[in-house]
Amino acid sequence: KLGGHGWGGGDLDNLKDALMLDRGSTVLTAEERGEALRRILEWERDHVDDLARHNSKAMLLRGAAGLAEESESEERKLIYKEVADLLGMEKGQKDKVASAVGPGALDASRALAGLNLTLTALLSTPCLQSPGCDVVAARFLKILNKQQVQKFLVWADGNAEGIDGVDYV
């Protein structure tokens, strides 16, 4: 379509179709899709691990600055004291730590641990190899032609937030 388009004139709808992303033309097997999902989930879990490590260090500095949460263990408070003695932070430094690391660091740590558990559980389930997606995709692809599938997928990408907000239950 693009090769036959006359620049400066012609059918605008045909031009948009020609320039559209080639979405929906690649059909993955259950194994390929499972492998792709596994790689994505592993990358996400690694990212969550990195965030958790950085958050732990921030919590350690916050505790060393004398800003430990009441709910924290005595063992952790002893570690904070050890780090505080090691660093010998001045009041100005402690104030900067307090402003840089908010009191929500402990909640963030718990949330990151929960997210890590969820990602680990997803990685250990056989659903990544489920043929159910192939069945649904095959039914979907039989109804729409290739151009319709591409248009729908591009539209869905652009409207993901609205689609996520629809309650199907």
Mean pLDDT, rounded, for 28-34: 75
Q: What percent of the chain lies above the pLDDT cut of 70?
A: 76
Residue 65's pLDDT band (cuts 50, 70, 90): confident
pLDDT digits (tens, 9 = 90+) for 84-99: 899 998 888 888 888 8
pLDDT digits (tens, 9 = 90+) for 16-25: 665 665 555 6
Is residue 14's pLDDT more than 70?
no
- CA angle centred on 158, ends 156 and 160, rounded to 5°: 60
DSSP letter assigned to residue 145 = -
DSSP letter assigned to residue 10 = S
Matching residue, tokens 């100005």: 92
The better pLDDT of the pair 162, 129 is held by 162
Q: Which pTM value belongs to this model?
A: 0.60
In Å, how far are 9, 25, 152, 167 from 5, measured between CA atoms? 8, 22, 23, 42
Question: CB of 66 within 8 A of CB of 81?
Answer: no
Residue 119's pLDDT band (cuts 50, 70, 90): very high
The better pLDDT of the pair 37, 11 is held by 37
Q: What percent of the chain lies above the pLDDT cut of 90?
A: 18
Is residue 69's pLDDT more than 80?
no
The secondary structure of 18-83 as a DSSP string is: HHS---S-PPPPHHHHHHHHHHHHHHHHHHHHHHHHHHHHHHHHHHHTT---TTS-HHHHHHHHHH
Is residue 105's pLDDT more than 70?
yes
Question: CB of 79 within 8 A of CB of 60?
Answer: yes
The better pLDDT of the pair 22, 146 is held by 146
**Amino acid residing at 27:** V
